[in-house]
Structure 1
Amino acid sequence: MAEALSVSPLTASLLASRGIDSAEAAANFLNGNLDALHDPYLLLGMEKAVPRIQQAIDHGEHILIYGDYDADGVSSTSLMIYFMRHMGASYDIYIPHRSNEGYGLHNHALDWAHQQGVSLVITVDTGISAVEQIAYANALGIDVIVTDHHEPPEVLPEAYALINPKQPGCPYPFKGLAGVGVAYKLAQAVLKQPPVEWTEIVAIGTIADLMPLTGENRILVSRGLESMRRTSFPGIRALMEVSGIAPGAVTSTNVAFGMAPRINASGRLDHAGSAVALLTTEDAEEAQRLSHALDELNKERQQVVETIVQEALLQLQAKMKDNNVPDVIVLAGEGWNVGVVGIVASKILERYYRPVIILGIDPETGMCKGSARSIPGLDIYEALTSCKDLMDHYGGHPSAAGMSLNREQLEAFEQALNLYAGQVLTEADFVPVMPTDGEWTLSDIPLSVVDEIEMLEPFGMANPMPKLIFRGTQLAEIRKIGKDGKHLKLVVRQGGTRIEAVAFGRGDLAELLEEGMTLDILGEVSINEWNGSRKPQLMLQDLNIPGPQVFDFRDSKQPWADMQRVYNAVSAHLRLDYRHIAAVFNPRLESSPKLELNDCTLWVYDKNAGISAFNDAANIYGTDHVTTLFMIHAPDSADQLDTLLASFKNLSNLFLLHSGRSKAERITIPDREQFKLLYVLLMRMAAEPIREQEALVRLSKQSSSTLRMVTMMMDVFEELSFIQRRDGYITIIPKPPKRELSSSMHFSALGSLAEMEQHLLYASTSQCTSWMISRLEGVS
């Protein structure tokens, strides 16, 4: 592939991983144009729909475009407005209010349409589930043409025509169209070649609705973005401006994160009609006014979301038994704005990696309207189908859905979903997995290769921004950047290649990283352009420190408070719960911990066993689950340290919070000369038995050794029968047996203890952590 296309092995690999296995397929992928679009008449229902629309236009019938309030629905409605204008049709639009009416076709809207003289309704991005409503429209004498892309239910409505590539029996080769994509195909069927600029509207809706950017979607979005860079639509130009997007640099990413949220904000907090008005206005001043209004709504939306997220998390904490998170999280609250519950669900899913349903309750009617977001292991549409009798309405995709039900059904609804999930999900489904594009080296991504990778744009669903793994890089520089140090900037090197890596919102990790450490990193490659200079950079997605890691927080004034602080900072990144955390302390120095993390396992040093359990959690869960250990106090001996480290077999993070000893208590690794000097001094002053305390003080002064060191050396002399201790006195044994110092257990223990304390209490951070890591690796 690389040879055939004259590209780098990395670029060829990215193409191959996307199912492009030949030069011809690569050419179609990279250079597809509107001529390559499928025949719209392959869509089941199109042959019936087109003549009916042409008839309505020719006879001046009044047509109603019935849309939806999300960005795809807004785009679909806007596209149909351009289509109606182009055809000179008599038309009206109707988009239900998210909070007051909810999703889908409504009978009262059909009554209104009937009063307005509407004889044809064309739905966009909705209608495939509206069995009863379309039957009602038929009774009113209104024909309904449904254009939709949602999953069809078992029973389809008896519409005049149904156009949905997912409906049974539809031969259309591409099933991934957005609602606006289906609307575009309808316009294409009538006009043969719709105006190119309409693809801008298609691009917005397709990207916003998270449709796969492959096949026809890739062609439509690519062409739409290209057109958008020199757009003639006042509304799109104003929307890009208020989103901070330079017209010439518009990409799928800034459409997704800049333009789409502002379009969605109208339907979430107000009415989607203002977003439709923005996308379809021909007046620049009105476009400016509407775009700024949407921007303000989006800021308000962000505040509303944060408030509901906090309330939902409190509700979840109260609901969790023994800190166990339900397989499916179902949370409902009075007054929660149903326009933002989907965003709230996404944020809670991100935190707990569980399927999440968030519902707003109307306190007067008791009706609950909600949104679901799911993980790959659970098709949420199928899960909802399993308990459809409990809901008034539902619909959606495998990963996202909406529903409405009465609050009296909430408990049964939650139980039914968790029962279904319990039969479908496995433990492995709860482990978040990020697909990557393989392992590479920093030398594989020079500027020329990054430019090649940009040929794969637009990136999005099914064609994600490439994520590359680089193992064994060395951390050369680290610093916080941005307001309040919110973001993280690293410089990593590998061989002779250095590259900057930026992690947005991860500034809190700075204190957990040290220059010189080895990192495995996962990142997206981009180009940093500054003052005319262009160079590759990585947008950091994740990082891993291979092997155990030791963090130096020694001499902490408030070790328990620091433990809580560190836990709060890293638990989300390391996915810790109470089973994974342990703290060890000395019961002689502290009788009980001052700790809010009461559910973590607590251990104490034990002279005989090394360590022993202190609380119920330690007795229940033991040591096997523990990955993160906080050392509140230093151990009393090297053997105790080794027993401690050997007990926690899966330890990967060790936080040192213990205090150092004063210089007056310092011991050193002993040698023969020290013992010889001490013995000579003792012989001089102890011709007769001498009080031990007096002897120790005098020996300490004369030998320049600490009192603690001298005391422990006396233990060696006693073990080797050089002295005798009795009733507080020391007596020299005149003719002691000849024994090597190395034969003394006290001598070995003193040496090991001195080495341990030298590293644990007095050494620099790098010396201390390196020594501890070697001990950890030695016992693993």
Structure 2
Amino acid sequence: MDGGVDDSHDPFLLKGMAEAVPRIRKALQEEEHILVYGDYDADGVSSTSLMIYLLRYLGASFDIYIPHRSNEGYGLHNHALDWAVQQGVSLVITVDTGISAVHQIAYAAELGIDVIVTDHHEPPELLPEAFALINPKLPDCPYPFKGLAGVGVAYKLAEALLDGKVPEEWSEIAAIGTVADLMPLLGENRSLVRKGLASMRKSPFPGVRALLEVSGITMNTVSAVNIAFGLAPRINASGRLDHAGRAVALLTTADSDEAGQLASELDLLNKERQMVVERIVGEATDKLIRQIGDGRPPDIIVLADQGWNVGVVGIVASKLLERYYRPVIILDIHPETGMCKGSARSIPGLDIYEALTSCAGLMDHYGGHPAAAGMSLHRDNLDAFAAALNEYAAAVLTPEHLIPVTAADGDIPISDLTLQAALELDRLAPFGMSNPLPKFIVRGAAVKETRKMGQEGKHLKLVLQQGRHTIEAVAFGKGELADLLPGGTMIDVLAELSVNEWNGSRKPQLMLQDLAVPEAQLFDLRGTADAVRQAVRLKEVLQPYSGSTPFTAAAVFKNSRLSPLNDLKGMSLWVYDEEAGINVLHHGQAEADGKVSLLCLLDMPETPEQLDALLTAFPQAENIALLHARRDGHDRLQVPTRDHFKVLYKLLASIAATAVPEHEVLLRLSRQSSLSVRMLGRMLDVFEELDFIERTGGMISFVSQPAAKNLSASRHFVRLGQTAEMEQYFMESSPRELENWMQARRQGVS
């Protein structure tokens, strides 16, 4: 079955429709001036646009009003009704708002204005006394489908007024609002969005065509996912950073040039919105880290500051929730009044509306749903507000609630992820809320190719292989993982299967939702310019992938390195030691048993004893990052051979027949051999131990007839061989060779 049957229901099953339709017809007949009152989000913009098309079609006299998000806020406002009276309005039709406007609708009645409410939000216990209330969620409304968006309710009003003969292209506007407002794509929504997408692929609306173009979406393949991630953010950007009227103008213009101009403006606003969000996310994250130090974040994260644009705080909350997987509330503080306006986003384990209700007395206003809410309160109440919410959360949340879980539809080998399979899945579209695109787990795939793509390398592209079968995989926003997934890495992925169309060719492609590397990894970042900064970056990149296990990290470095304590917050810090091997400076969050998520070697060990102490201290390091500098070739040790010592013995016999200063001996030896001064100094230690030379007061003299001794009897000779071998592995070997050698050494140590 291709996406279900037409699940449309009679609009007059909606309670209030029977009263609303004759009132609107009376207004049309008597040429009353009508006001369409909408909301500033994509659903509100779509609902307002649809009503404009309807009232134009009916030849009505009308105005529209959408409040400014930050200056006025959500809902019906008395000052807007005062303005409406001045315009001669006698009938207000609300779209995507109004069900809670008890006082405002009473005020409208005093002004002699009738109000018809069309809305889809949860109705409060006390309902406004409007001329008509149309909302499928009203407790006594018999309408069989309760999941309509605000634009869906407006569409039903259009059906009722036009006897079911709604122009097909209007379904495009309904589809945009339904998908953007995250309504379930089931039943009537499903058929309405399918119809809208089919129309959008040949859209007569200049605004829709221009919006698709600036979003980089091919018209003939537009999908619900494109609406959610391409069109909706640009429409929403209008209401977040400017005024939603610009988006309404775009969706309702008949002029292609105007549409192109408006679409470009919304695209620029969306880019600005992204930068604003990025800035606030950074500031909020820094603020949280300062608050918690090395500790864990609170059960409900509450952060507030001045200059955090109230239009984007909900997006910021979503970003922090994704990172910390806890309910998050982000608030903007007005610098003069001290009033805070904010947005909350929550996880399935905690109903944020109920949590807010538990401390309602601390807020001036609040409203919302289990997963998202808005609120306003004074700055003086912020600490008590955060404390009360966390007290509530402590009684509700369990450790299991704080572990993100994604449902998968099965384990699938790459050989089954074919183009035909992707095309078959596409027949189940449109995908969205309550009808998600199926997710599959692919286990044991080898990374064949890795590269970054997109602006500034923000996105990740992989080629995965199982046996002789390969498939491309894309992960948006995961470009930083490219350095950590070299060819040959074995990974498990959670992904959606899609069709990639490019230059007329089609092939299957995985859209990665998550990935795991089951085996411990060795990250080869030798020679990095700033080892400390790289260690911090690695910690930030890997932390979100730690799952339910607390993420712990440790850094090991030479005593001579300037203290990096300030930058390496939360990490266990260790230094190499000539006597003990390594010593701890600061324990951080590392486990006592040496099990760490990430072990960063800012410097390589200088001796085998230091390496063995390192392996003993961290027997269960999940990942090791090599961040040490590469020693200059002229200063490296070589694995010593008898020939090295034969040549040196002859040179010493000619140079140091009588006592000569050691620094002069080393200088002359380095000129006459290919060995480094450092290597020659270690070899002199061997000769001294075997009584081939004498060292006294910085002078060296050759012993002319020493007793015969085997080189292997020298402790310095054995140590030099071990140190040179270690250095060779750390400086020159491939990551795989070094990993295998360290593993063999670890087993020898244990």
Q: How does 1:107-146 map to 2 (within 5 A)?
A: 107-146=78-117
Q: Is the 8 A contact 1:71 1:263 kept in 2?
A: yes
Using a 3 Å threshold, how does the CA distance of structure 1 residues 58 and 554 change in structure 2: closer, same or farther? closer
Q: 1:565 aligns with which of 534, 540, 544?
A: 534
Residue of structure 2 in register with 1:262 after alignment? 234
**How far apart are the structure 2 equivalents of 1:78 and 1:591?**
62
Is 1:147 paired with 2:107? no
**How far apart are the structure 1 equivalents of 2:502 and 2:736?**
36
**How far apart are the structure 2 equivalents of 1:214 and 1:118?**
38
Using a 3 Å threshold, how does the CA distance of structure 1 residues 612 and 171 change in structure 2: closer, same or farther? farther
Q: 2:361 aligns with which of 383, 389, 406?
A: 389
Q: How does 1:586-601 map to 2 (within 5 A)?
A: 586-587=558-559, 592=563, 596-601=567-572
Residue of structure 1 in register with 2:216 after alignment? 244
Which stretches in structure 2 are left out of the alignment for 5+ residues?
651-661, 667-671, 692-699
3-state DSSP class of the match of 1:463?
coil
Q: Is the 8 A contact 2:323 2:544 kept in 1?
A: no
Residue of structure 1 in register with 2:657 after alignment? none
Residue of structure 2 in register with 1:423 after alignment? 395
Q: Is the 8 A contact 2:595 2:622 kept in 1?
A: no
Using a 3 Å threshold, how does the CA distance of structure 1 residues 768 and 748 change in structure 2: closer, same or farther? same
Q: Is the 8 A contact 1:548 1:776 kept in 2?
A: no
Deviation, 1:597, is 1.2
Q: 1:769 aligns with which of 719, 722, 739?
A: 739
Residue of structure 1 in register with 2:426 after alignment? 454
Using a 3 Å threshold, how does the CA distance of structure 1 residues 765 and 333 change in structure 2: closer, same or farther? closer
Residue of structure 1 in register with 2:598 after alignment? 628
Using a 3 Å threshold, how does the CA distance of structure 1 residues 756 and 238 change in structure 2: closer, same or farther? closer
Amino acid at match of 1:341: V
Amino acid at match of 2:132: A
Is 1:161 paired with 2:161? no
Deviation, 1:758, is 5.2
Using a 3 Å threshold, how does the CA distance of structure 1 residues 203 and 773 change in structure 2: closer, same or farther? farther
Q: 1:528 aligns with which of 500, 513, 518?
A: 500
Q: 2:469 aligns with which of 497, 505, 513?
A: 497
Q: How does 1:27-42 map to 2 (within 5 A)?
A: 27=1, 30-34=2-6, 36-42=7-13
Amino acid at match of 1:400: A
Residue of structure 2 in register with 1:71 after alignment? 42
3-state DSSP class of the match of 1:617?
coil
Deviation, 1:403, is 2.3
**How far apart are the structure 2 equivalents of 1:613 and 1:400?**
45
Q: Which is further off, 263-272 or 295-304?
A: 295-304
Residue of structure 2 in register with 1:279 after alignment? 251
Deviation, 1:322, is 4.5
Deviation, 1:526, is 2.7
Per-residue deviation, residues 625-669 of structure 1 (Å, max 9, x unmatched): 621111234446667645533443542110123466978875759
Residue of structure 2 in register with 1:399 after alignment? 371
Deviation, 1:610, is 5.4
**How far apart are the structure 1 equivalents of 2:569 and 2:307?**
34
Is 1:301 paired with 2:273? yes
Deviation, 1:218, is 1.5
**How far apart are the structure 2 equivalents of 1:664 and 1:300?**
52
Residue of structure 2 in register with 1:613 after alignment? 584
Is 1:539 paired with 2:508? no
**How far apart are the structure 1 equivalents of 2:517 and 2:690?**
46
Is 1:203 paired with 2:172? no
Amino acid at match of 1:377: G
Q: Is the 8 A contact 2:3 2:429 kept in 1?
A: no
Q: 2:439 aligns with which of 444, 449, 467?
A: 467
Using a 3 Å threshold, how does the CA distance of structure 1 residues 252 and 629 change in structure 2: closer, same or farther? same
Deviation, 1:751, is 8.4
Q: How does 1:179-258 map to 2 (within 5 A)?
A: 179-195=150-166, 196-258=168-230
Residue of structure 1 in register with 2:56 after alignment? 85
Amino acid at match of 1:534: R
Amino acid at match of 2:299: D
Residue of structure 2 in register with 1:343 after alignment? 315
**How far apart are the structure 2 equivalents of 1:482 and 1:234?**
28
**How far apart are the structure 2 equivalents of 1:665 and 1:333?**
54
3-state DSSP class of the match of 2:461?
strand
Using a 3 Å threshold, how does the CA distance of structure 1 residues 54 and 648 change in structure 2: closer, same or farther? farther
Per-residue deviation, residues 432-489 of structure 1 (Å, max 9, x unmatched): 4444333211101121111112222222222233333222122222333445444433
Using a 3 Å threshold, how does the CA distance of structure 1 residues 100 and 378 change in structure 2: closer, same or farther? same
Q: Is the 8 A contact 1:180 1:202 kept in 2?
A: yes
Q: 1:441 aligns with which of 386, 390, 413?
A: 413
**How far apart are the structure 2 equivalents of 1:734 and 1:573?**
59
Deviation, 1:77, is 1.3
Is 1:648 paired with 2:648? no
3-state DSSP class of the match of 1:614?
strand
Q: Which is further off, 84-93 or 73-82?
A: 84-93
Deviation, 1:69, is 1.0
**How far apart are the structure 1 equivalents of 2:307 and 2:727?**
59
Using a 3 Å threshold, how does the CA distance of structure 1 residues 258 and 776 change in structure 2: closer, same or farther? farther
**How far apart are the structure 2 equivalents of 1:613 and 1:451?**
57
Using a 3 Å threshold, how does the CA distance of structure 1 residues 184 and 665 change in structure 2: closer, same or farther? closer
**How far apart are the structure 1 equivalents of 2:631 and 2:557?**
14
Q: How does 1:655-666 map to 2 (within 5 A)?
A: 655-658=625-628, 666=637
Q: Is the 8 A contact 1:579 1:621 kept in 2?
A: no
Deviation, 1:241, is 3.0
Amino acid at match of 1:188: E
**How far apart are the structure 1 equivalents of 2:632 and 2:721?**
17
Amino acid at match of 2:316: V
**How far apart are the structure 1 equivalents of 2:727 and 2:290?**
45
**How far apart are the structure 1 equivalents of 2:744 and 2:146?**
56
Using a 3 Å threshold, how does the CA distance of structure 1 residues 380 and 123 change in structure 2: closer, same or farther? same
Deviation, 1:714, is 9.4
Q: Which is further off, 601-610 or 382-391?
A: 601-610
Q: Is the 8 A contact 1:148 1:182 kept in 2?
A: yes
- When the two structures are superposed, what TM-score results if normalisation uses the length of structure 2? 0.83
3-state DSSP class of the match of 2:202?
coil
3-state DSSP class of the match of 2:75?
coil
Amino acid at match of 1:765: P
Per-residue deviation, residues 360-419 of structure 1 (Å, max 9, x unmatched): 333344433322222333322222222223333322222222223333333333333333
Q: Is the 8 A contact 1:151 1:395 kept in 2?
A: no
Q: Is the 8 A contact 2:28 2:60 kept in 1?
A: yes
Matched positions, count: 729
Q: Is the 8 A contact 1:372 1:380 kept in 2?
A: yes
Using a 3 Å threshold, how does the CA distance of structure 1 residues 761 and 293 change in structure 2: closer, same or farther? closer
**How far apart are the structure 1 equivalents of 2:206 and 2:291?**
49
Q: 1:363 aligns with which of 335, 345, 354?
A: 335
Deviation, 1:159, is 3.1
Using a 3 Å threshold, how does the CA distance of structure 1 residues 273 and 713 change in structure 2: closer, same or farther? same
Deviation, 1:104, is 0.5
**How far apart are the structure 1 equivalents of 2:731 and 2:268?**
56
Q: Is the 8 A contact 2:543 2:551 kept in 1?
A: no
Amino acid at match of 1:613: V
Q: 1:477 aligns with which of 431, 435, 449?
A: 449
Q: Is the 8 A contact 2:332 2:340 kept in 1?
A: yes
Amino acid at match of 2:126: V
Amino acid at match of 2:56: R
Q: How does 1:298-337 map to 2 (within 5 A)?
A: 298-322=270-294, 324-337=296-309
**How far apart are the structure 2 equivalents of 1:425 and 1:190?**
49
